[in-house]
Structure 1
Amino acid sequence: MTQIIHTSAVVMQAIRWKDSSKIVTFLTETDGLVKLIVRGAYRKNSPLAGRLETLNEVRLVYYKKSSRDLQMMKEIDLVNDFSVLKTDFSRYPFALALLEALKNTLEYAHGDAVFYGFVVEMLHAIAESSVPNVPFIYFLLKLCSYLGFRPYFDNCRGNRQSACLRDMNFFSLNTGNRVCGACDAMDGALERLSRAEIFFLQNLQNERYRRLRATEYHCREWKHVVQVLLRYISVQTDRPLTLKALDLIAH
């Protein structure tokens, strides 16, 4: 049986398929990640081309048949093209990296309207924040929680006392806990985190996501923090996670 699905969506990726068509991956509000065949996308003067750009927020109508992986698009309307993200290279890589992380960690055809709304809000936060790396790090923290392995930075795993904050601590990629150098709870998969980095992660993790557009968090070593979180996700999912979009950031 074929259903007609009406949903909000974000364009994740588009690839050429046959002469005039595309296969487009969307993050949808109703069904999570879906792949749709879009016929006529490459035809001359096609109105579809501008609506299928990566990062576009759209209203989508498509035919859904449970017996097949590729569905068929019926209609699409542009809601927001996030032009600020696409024209500002201090923001654009973070937005692309967000989509890349989703594509590499989420399962297909698993919808979650609340999480979809969170993703769209994170795109707005990256577009509007004075420090766009901060909402991206926040997104990674909450993605960990959503996938079922929330990291904990408040207490040292060895003695459970939040006061145990020395100049250099460690973060366990296996357990998702902070471990201080004085504790016996050390394991073989540890990443160093400074006191400043831990305070940053503690405060950011406890922030409300709808306030991120206006917050003024800063982390001097934000690239190191991102790499620690990506390694943590890789260990927890048993799937290497390297975000190529981050290579676009000027060093």
Structure 2
Amino acid sequence: MVVATKAIVFSAIKYSEADLIVSCFTEVAGIKSYLLRNILKSKKGKLKASYFQPLTQLEIIAEHKNKGTLEYIKEAKVFQPYQTLHTDIIKSGLVMFLSEMLRNCIREEEANTELYGFLENSLLWLDQNDEVANFHIFFLLQLSMYLGFYPDATNIEAKYFNIMEGNFQAVNTNNYCLEGQQIENFKNFFTVDFEFINKIKLSKNERQNLLELVLSYYSFHVQGYQKPKSLAVLNQLFS
């Protein structure tokens, strides 16, 4: 079946001498993996390796056999050209980290237009704005909503956050209840949107500790979660 769809590149891995295996989150079919033959050598083909940098937004025409095998892209063009995402060192570090997290968390081969729209708009915001130190924390919190485990903030004024249950509570009921400045910083991200995340003032250590909290939360709620290898690079960029 030939489909035309928007797609966001999650990863591109070299296969053999001149091929790439590319993982994309497509608007019409969720996660799809494609084999791009000879793309690293051919200069005359319709596909260019530069199209498949992490988190690039594309329009593709692809052949989907839907048999669990690698699919085939017939045509591709950049849908939303980025101005800074792959050239700014901080943003490129965020791209590396977020693409790894997205590969880790999104595996469904089915359409999810709301999630796709969230990713599309979030990446454009990241590309177009300069103050992005808090972006990844807010992004991951919002992403959890689309993945089905957004924390219950009904009792957000309570002292403890139960990282396993995903709620705020007044009483410490188990070893998964956390308190202190880390939790107070976390609460600030529930009452803003992208336009105001730069108003949340955090020291480098506070931001790093808060990211560790969010990743710990993901580890409880994402099946098969793996700690991102790019985390060390991200922490260096923000240190």
Same fold at TM > 0.5: yes
31-40 or 146-155, which moves further after superposition? 146-155
Superposed CA RMSD in Å reads 2.2
Give the CA deviation at 1:67: 2.0
Residue type of the partner of 2:30? G
**SS in structure 1 of the partner of residue 96 of structure 2:** helix
Residue 159 of structure 1 aligns with which residue?
none
Greater fraction strand: 1
The answer (yes or no) to whether the contact 2:29–2:109 under 8 Å persists in 1 is yes
Residue 188 of structure 1 aligns with which residue?
175
CA separation of 1:35 and 1:77: change in aligned 2, threshold 3 A: same
Counterpart among 166, 170, 191 of residue 203 in structure 1: 191
**SS in structure 1 of the partner of residue 155 of structure 2:** strand
Structure 1 spans left out of the alignment, 5+ residues: 157-161
Does residue 222 of the first structure (1) align with residue 220 of the second (2)?
no
**SS in structure 1 of the partner of residue 137 of structure 2:** helix
**Structure-2 separation of matches of 1:201 and 1:51:** 33
Residue type of the partner of 1:192? E
- Corresponding pairs, count: 230
Structure 2 spans left out of the alignment, 5+ residues: none
Does residue 231 of the first structure (1) align with residue 221 of the second (2)?
no
* Per-residue deviation, residues 178-230 of structure 1 (Å, max 9, x unmatched): 234xx2x42111333426414412313xx3xxxx2465432412222211111
The answer (yes or no) to whether the contact 1:11–1:57 under 8 Å persists in 2 is yes
Note the 1:61-210 alignment, pairs <5 A. 61-155=61-155, 162=157, 164=158, 169-180=159-170, 183=171, 185-194=172-181, 196-204=184-192, 207=193
**Structure-2 separation of matches of 1:142 and 1:199:** 13
The answer (yes or no) to whether the contact 1:62–1:71 under 8 Å persists in 2 is yes
191-200 or 57-66, which moves further after superposition? 191-200
**Structure-1 separation of matches of 2:223 and 2:63:** 34
Residue 225 of structure 2 aligns with which residue?
240
The answer (yes or no) to whether the contact 1:33–1:110 under 8 Å persists in 2 is yes
The answer (yes or no) to whether the contact 1:173–1:232 under 8 Å persists in 2 is yes
**SS in structure 1 of the partner of residue 111 of structure 2:** coil
**Structure-2 separation of matches of 1:236 and 1:214:** 27
Looking at CA atoms only, which structure, 1 or 2, has the larger radius of gyration?
Answer: 1
With structure 2 as the length reference, what TM-score do the two structures score? 0.85
The answer (yes or no) to whether the contact 2:219–2:225 under 8 Å persists in 1 is yes
Residue type of the partner of 2:200? H
Residue 13 of structure 1 aligns with which residue?
11
With structure 1 as the length reference, what TM-score do the two structures score? 0.82
**Structure-1 separation of matches of 2:100 and 2:224:** 14
Residue type of the partner of 1:188? N
Give the CA deviation at 1:131: 2.8
The answer (yes or no) to whether the contact 1:129–1:213 under 8 Å persists in 2 is no
The answer (yes or no) to whether the contact 1:5–1:64 under 8 Å persists in 2 is yes
**Structure-2 separation of matches of 1:229 and 1:93:** 18
